[in-house]
Amino acid sequence: METQIKLENVSAIQKKFIVTIPADKVTKTVEKKFIEVQKTAKIKGFRPGHVPLNLVKQYYGEDVKSKALNALINETYTEALKKHPLRIVGDPQIEGMPHEHAGEAGEHTHLHLHEGEALTYSAVVEIVPEIDPKDYKGLSLEKPTAEVTDKDIDGVRTNLLGRKAEVMPVDRASKMGDFLDFKYEGKIKTENGMEAAPNLSGDRYAELGSGQLLPDFEANLTGLKAGGNHTFKMSYPADYNDANLAGKDAEYEVHVREVKEKKLPEFTAELAKEFGYESIADFETKSREMLVKNKAEESDNLLRNNMIEKLIEKNTFEVPQALVYSQMRALADDYSQELKRYGFNEQMIQSAVMSQLQDFKKRAETQVRAGILLDSIAKKEKIEVTPADLEKELQKTAKNFGVDVKVVKDRFDTSPRDKANFEYRVREELTIQMILGSAKIKEKKS
């Protein structure tokens, strides 16, 4: 009797294999594992390899059955995947099923192997859904203009001069752009009134207007002088990243120790040279070129985001959670590495990552949806990557990393997986360009 494999639909993103392994195969596999163990078994009074089989079963029975069970599942699960090729993501959820109820609704059991009896188990897997994408041609999209103004140039100049700026104490009320050294104590409104809460008291040194503080909190720090105390009430946003504070009313008492003002030096030709420019005119020319490039990239990214939003609006479908959680981990890892570069310790990084989990999940789900949609559109439109497409992107990649194109090609020759991922990204880019090529794009001032 052969192994029986049945495939059932659970949902658009889940399938269930029900596998029944005949009793003779179970018995043969167990016997084979016992013989393998017998060859190396060590029991007092017997030389290795000469322990009687009945003693091997007595001493190693459960361990051998566990190994046989794993071997049977690995072999038959692989067989099931060959018989029913699916785009599976994540690991299968495997559970035991009573043989007499195989294929019917019934209680699942813990997997346990019995010699002389058939083994039936279920394996629930998540799959990439097969979707028929729609309404992806002729999208109405908006693209911000990449216009560079004199104000933008002034911003670059101010940032440069900030490296040479002096921060001096001032005897006046604070305003945006000032640095404030202050102590704060906060309370949260509860059913019992205003109560102290963890992490709402401490010392801070912050630049007003830099985005380091919540807007409501920052607004209450303007107009204060050194030595002054100020009590104010505020509400945390409903989507605040700390769930313990989101949507809550708070009350703070602030003591300002010092108000400091940033004094920028005059931008002279000598300073321009210190910053690596030939002259003030050279600074303005190169800054404008840089801003034009950056704004064009930003405008392009916003256009793409607008396109993805529209595609998702027009195509609703379930997404496999295994892919979402995998993407969440990638986002969290990138965020952790960035914080580490800024000197955050492990405890601070863990706290920051935990506070961003909901945002990571939202972004991950969007990215997974976008990937599935673009892949489905590429298949529907029969978009294929040509050698010329690959060469073009290889040249671009090599230029971006400042290496010879041979270095990139050699990397892909030694890593088929990296090469496959690269080709996938090129195909995705061709798909995006096809969608944008048919879209109605309206430019708007940013």
5 forms bridges with which residues in the sheet?
A: 19
The pLDDT value recorded for residue 109 is: 52
Q: How far is CA 243 from the centre of its chain?
A: 20
> Per this entry, what is the length of the chain?
446
Give, in order, the Cα–Cα distances in Å from 319 to each of 84, 192, 373, 420. 21, 43, 11, 23
* DSSP single-letter state for residue 3: P
Strands ordered across the beta sheet of 4-11: 4-11, 14-21, 119-127, 88-96
C-alpha angle with apex 256: 252 to 261, nearest 5 degrees?
A: 130
Sign of CA dihedral 226, 231, 236, 242: positive
Sign of CA dihedral 291, 297, 303, 309: negative
In angstroms, the CA 252 to CA 231 distance is 6
Helix ranges (DSSP H) in 39-114 = 53-83
In angstroms, the CA 429 to CA 435 distance is 10
In which element (H, E) is residue 336 found?
helix 321-341
What's the predicted TM-score (pTM) here?
0.73
Least Cα distance to 217 among 170, 191, 192, 253 occurs for 253
β 140-144/440-444 pair status: parallel
* DSSP single-letter state for residue 161: H
The pLDDT value recorded for residue 106 is: 40
In angstroms, the CA 123 to CA 95 distance is 7
The pLDDT value recorded for residue 102 is: 44
Q: How far is CA 85 from the centre of its chain?
A: 28
Give, in order, the Cα–Cα distances in Å from 280 to each of 272, 289, 412. 6, 14, 45
The pLDDT value recorded for residue 382 is: 96
In angstroms, the CA 256 to CA 204 distance is 10
Domain boundaries, the chain: 4-127, 166-263, 272-444
In angstroms, the CA 423 to CA 404 distance is 19
Residues 6+ apart with CB under 8 A from 300: 143
In angstroms, the CA 48 to CA 55 distance is 13
CATH topology of domain 166-263: Chitinase A; domain 3 (3.10.50)
**Tokens 């945006």 sit on residue:** 176
Residue 120, amino acid: T
Q: Is 229 helix (H, G, I), strand (E, B) or coil?
A: strand
In angstroms, the CA 256 to CA 231 distance is 11
Segments in the chain below pLDDT 50: 100-108
382 forms bridges with which residues in the sheet?
A: none
Helix (H) and strand (E) counts in the chain = 12, 11
The two three-digit tokens of residue 161, written as one number? 């001069």
Q: Is 218 helix (H, G, I), strand (E, B) or coil?
A: helix
The two three-digit tokens of residue 244, written as one number? 């313990």
| Widest Cα–Cα separation across the chain | 94
CATH class of 4-127: alpha beta
CATH number of 272-444: 1.10.3120.10
